[in-house]
Amino acid sequence: MNETIHWADIIAEDVLERGNKHTVASGITPSGAIHIGNMREVVTADAAYRALKEKSADVRLIYIADTLDPLRKVYPFLSDDYEAHVGKPLSDIPCPCGNHKNYAEHFLLPFIESLHTLGIKPDVYRADELYRQGKYLDAIKKALLNRDAIANILSEVSGRELAPDWSPFNPICSKCGRLTTTKVTGFDIEKETIDYACDCGSNSTVPMNGGGKLTWRVDWPARWPIFGTTVEPFGKDHATAGGSYDTGIRISREVYNYEPPHPIVYEWIMLKGKGAMHSSTGLAISIGDMLEIVPPEVLRYLILRQRPEKHIEFDPGMALLNLIDEYDQVEGDKRAYKLSQTEASKPTDVPFRHMVTAVQIADGRDFDYLLTILKRTDYDTSDVEAIRQRADNARNWLLKYAPPVVKFKVQDTLPVQVTSFSGGQKQALSILADDIEHGMSGQEIHENIYNVAEKVGITGKQVFEAVYQSLLGIKSGPRAGYFLEALEKDFVVKRFKEASR
């Protein structure tokens, strides 16, 4: 395994020059299912947090859910009823399934559960609660009083002109509940209220606490001093020239008198052949679905072995199988491997690739039968729960993402393909049957296949094809020696003798 300095350690060294007390922040708008593309931000934040903690920093990890952000449109996964809620804060919209407090919680709670499974336990904050509790009150007042300065910063840095009636605050209309259709018409710093006019015809007054929110480009730098944020990862869209981080730097320093956090800019996770993941388009794999097919450590490793500024092409098929193999065999980045560890997944010495073979041999039979198969190949089966977890992962992967080349079914009766066997193939199967009957390990069986091929005067490939066709009815399959060792010896001997006649 490669001994390299991990990018998280370099970040930790850099930010420690700022002092020993740190807050690593992460966050997202819970407008849809939070997928593994989104997971890059929070895993990156957690890696920086762990690296700082290892260096004895006084550090905490926070996660801010932007629950006050508006619903932008009716996404493909929503019913047409949600048209009436476009423009309203996510925390004020009904839950799609009816089992959560609101729309935001519907997507946020499963995500937090997934975080815990991944060994990530941040302090979670919800924007709607923060605003109602008055955490943003001073920031709102400063923004309103410095409206012109902020407008100049936004125009200078982003290059776009703001409307004359632009305000850094978006009120929530008391009548229609939207914050995308309102305009600030006045405010009272002493009374802590804001006057607004809405496209729906409403003209009213709302409190600064909970009556709306700062626009994104102001909200982001406003929260840095509130939480003492010193490190924050964010997507490359925010890092473009004139983007929200560039404007945030100026607003943070000039309005809030706070040094902006150390940026960790990350690239997207791309779904192989399909592009960047977006829950709004349905092009995504949810974290929950992902954790059904891989241990949490492997999902972390997928992200942590690559520098944040490099994009990750995610292939849930064979490439995922190879990644799990790499992780199991501890062959990749040693530091990334260490930073990937969690308490949630139980270790087992059964390789994922072998488990994929074993569960297909078991083919729906009870769990005890699967344990018997694993014992035949000399794997430790004492930790039953660890075995069960990995077996479930393998079954789910086979069901959802495995390519046809790794799928097979042991045939109950002699496949018709054996009628086309050559004399040499039949002779080879007869010899193999006798050798296996006397007892051989998987590695011995594999090597013996080549010996038998040489003995009867045919190629190794022809013998392998005869083996697979006799048992599976197809010309290829899992690694032959260990596959044959995993099957019942009497069954293999009987089948090969049948096929050789």
The pLDDT > 70 percentage for the chain reads 96
Task: Give the three-class secondary structure for 378.
Answer: coil
Task: Check if the beta carbon of residue 397 is closer than 8 Å to that of residue 320.
Answer: yes
- Say whether pLDDT at 215 is over 90: yes
pTM assigned to the model: 0.88
The count of residues in the chain is 501
Q: How far apart are CA 431 and CA 496, in angstroms?
A: 9
Q: How far apart are CA 457 and CA 450, in angstroms?
A: 10
Q: Which residues contact 220 (CB under 8 A, 6 or more apart)?
A: 244, 248
HSE-CB at 164 with a 13 A cutoff on CA atoms is 0
- Say whether pLDDT at 243 is over 90: yes
Can you give the pLDDT at residue 1?
46
Mean pLDDT of 30-58: 92
Q: How far apart are CA 479 and CA 452, in angstroms?
A: 17
Residue 256 DSSP one-character state:
S
* Helices and strands of the chain, counted as H and E runs: 20, 13
Which stretch of 71-85, 130-144, 211-225, 270-284 has the lowest confidence by average pLDDT?
270-284
| 50 against 347, higher pLDDT | 50
How far does Cα 78 stand from its chain's mean position? 22
Band the pLDDT of 333: cuts 50, 70, 90.
Answer: confident
Mean pLDDT of 27-49: 90
Ordered domains of the chain (ranges, CATH):
7-67+94-158+218-269 (3.40.50.620), 416-500 (1.10.10.350)
* Crossing angle of the two packed helices 384-400 and 367-376, in degrees rounded to 10: 100
* Token pair of 257 as six digits: 């008198």
Task: Give the three-class secondary structure for 199.
Answer: coil
Task: Give the three-class secondary structure for 206.
Answer: strand
Supply angle C-alpha 72, 74, 77, rounded to 5: 125
Measured from the Cβ of residue 79, the count of other Cβ atoms closer than 10 Å reads 8
- Where does residue 159 fall: left (phi above 0), alpha (psi -120 to 50 degrees), or beta otherwise? left
Which stretch of 157-171, 324-338, 468-482 has the lowest confidence by average pLDDT?
324-338
Task: Check if the beta carbon of residue 256 is closer than 8 Å to that of residue 223.
Answer: no
- Say whether pLDDT at 332 is over 80: no
Cβ neighbourhood burial of 370 (10 Å; 0-12, 13-18, 19+) = buried
Q: Which residues contact 328 (CB under 8 A, 6 or more apart)?
A: 351, 352
Q: How far apart are CA 46 and CA 303, in angstroms?
A: 11
Beta bridge partners of 314: 271
- Say whether pLDDT at 391 is over 50: yes
> What is the per-residue pLDDT across 263-302, written as a single tens digit (0 to 9) for each?
999 998 887 766 666 665 666 677 888 889 988 999 999 9
Beta bridge partners of 31: none
Q: What is the mean pLDDT of the chain?
A: 93
Q: How large is the C-alpha radius of gyration of the chain?
A: 30
Q: Which residues contact 481 (CB under 8 A, 6 or more apart)?
A: 441, 442, 443, 444, 445, 446, 447, 449
| 254 against 288, higher pLDDT | 254
Band the pLDDT of 306: cuts 50, 70, 90.
Answer: very high
Can you give the pLDDT at residue 295?
87
3-state helix, strand, coil in the chain (%, to 5): 50, 15, 40
Which stretch of 79-83, 237-241, 275-279 has the lowest confidence by average pLDDT?
275-279
Q: How far apart are CA 204 and CA 190, in angstroms?
A: 17
- CA distances for 135 relative to 127, 129, 187, 205, 407, angstroms: 10, 9, 18, 20, 55
> What is the per-residue pLDDT across 163-179, written as a single tens digit (0 to 9) for each?
999 999 999 999 999 99
Tracing tokens 């903690």 back to the chain, one arrives at: 53
Mean pLDDT of 151-164: 94
